[in-house]
Structure 1
Amino acid sequence: MIKFMLKCFVLCSVLLFGVLFGMQQANHGLVKMKGYEDPKLSSAFEVKNDASGELEASVLGNTHNLEEKQQKLEDMEAFNFFSQLGKTFASFASAVITGLISFLAGMVESLFQ
């Protein structure tokens, strides 16, 4: 199962980069066909430093400030009821399974002594 998931992840990653590479090549083809640099034609994917030294990513012409987005995600401390409920259920299920396994191990150990 792990090998299958790894293969799927690698395949999806290769396909994603293939699509981005194809978009970049199409952009270069359009620039060559026009014969001049058009500022409206942007690259498919571009990462660069801005004037203040922060990283900026541009995906399909939309510019994103990476540090600003990361800081915004770190500052956001939203409470998700279903996430908390899932964590509680997972810890409860883990405790029950651990107790059941230790109980069964104790019974098997007492049978062999």
Structure 2
Amino acid sequence: MIKFFFKCALLISALFIGVLIGMQYANQGIVEMKGHEQQNFTSPVGVSQDREGNVEASFLGNEVESETLSEKKEKLEDMKAFNAFSSIGKALANIIESITNEIVNFIASLI
């Protein structure tokens, strides 16, 4: 089951990367066919660096900034909201981890 999950995840990520590469090539083909570059034909995925050394990324025309992610993380840490599903998931993960460790130790002692 785990092998199947990893195979599916790998396949989905490979196909997603392939779609992004295809969009990039299609954009380049449109620009070459027109003969000149216009502002309304933007690259689907772009990374640029300004004079100060800050790296800016855009994904499908939307600016992606690392500051927004850090701000969201700080907001979540400030809220310190209790999530019942999160605590249940952590407890379940700890139980499964301890059971797995015991099984591995038992099998290792037999060998």
Q: TM-score, normalised by structure 1?
A: 0.68
- CA distance in 1 between counterparts of 2:71 and 2:3 reads 35
- CA distance in 2 between counterparts of 1:27 and 1:42 reads 8
The residue number in structure 2 matching 1:17 is 17
The residue number in structure 2 matching 1:69 is 68
- CA distance in 2 between counterparts of 1:93 and 1:30 reads 50
Q: Which has the larger radius of gyration?
A: 1
The letter for the 1-side match of 2:21 is F
- Deviation at 1:88? 4.1
Q: 1:87 to 1:61 in 2, by over 3 A?
A: closer
Deviations 1:12-69 (A, max 9, x none): 1111111101111110111011101112211111122223322211111112222x12
Consecutive unaligned residues in structure 2, runs of 5 or more: 99-111
- CA distance in 1 between counterparts of 2:27 and 2:35 reads 12
Percent pairwise identity: 40
The residue number in structure 2 matching 1:53 is 53
Preserved CA contact (<8 Å) 1:49 1:56: yes
Q: 1:80 to 1:25 in 2, by over 3 A?
A: same
The letter for the 1-side match of 2:54 is E
- The count of corresponding residues between Structure 1 and Structure 2 is 93
The residue number in structure 1 matching 2:106 is none
Deviations 1:52-100 (A, max 9, x none): 322211111112222x12321331123444x2x22444538967xx8xx
Preserved CA contact (<8 Å) 1:54 1:65: no
- CA distance in 2 between counterparts of 1:27 and 1:93 reads 45
Consecutive unaligned residues in structure 1, runs of 5 or more: 99-113
The letter for the 1-side match of 2:5 is M
- CA distance in 1 between counterparts of 2:93 and 2:65 reads 41
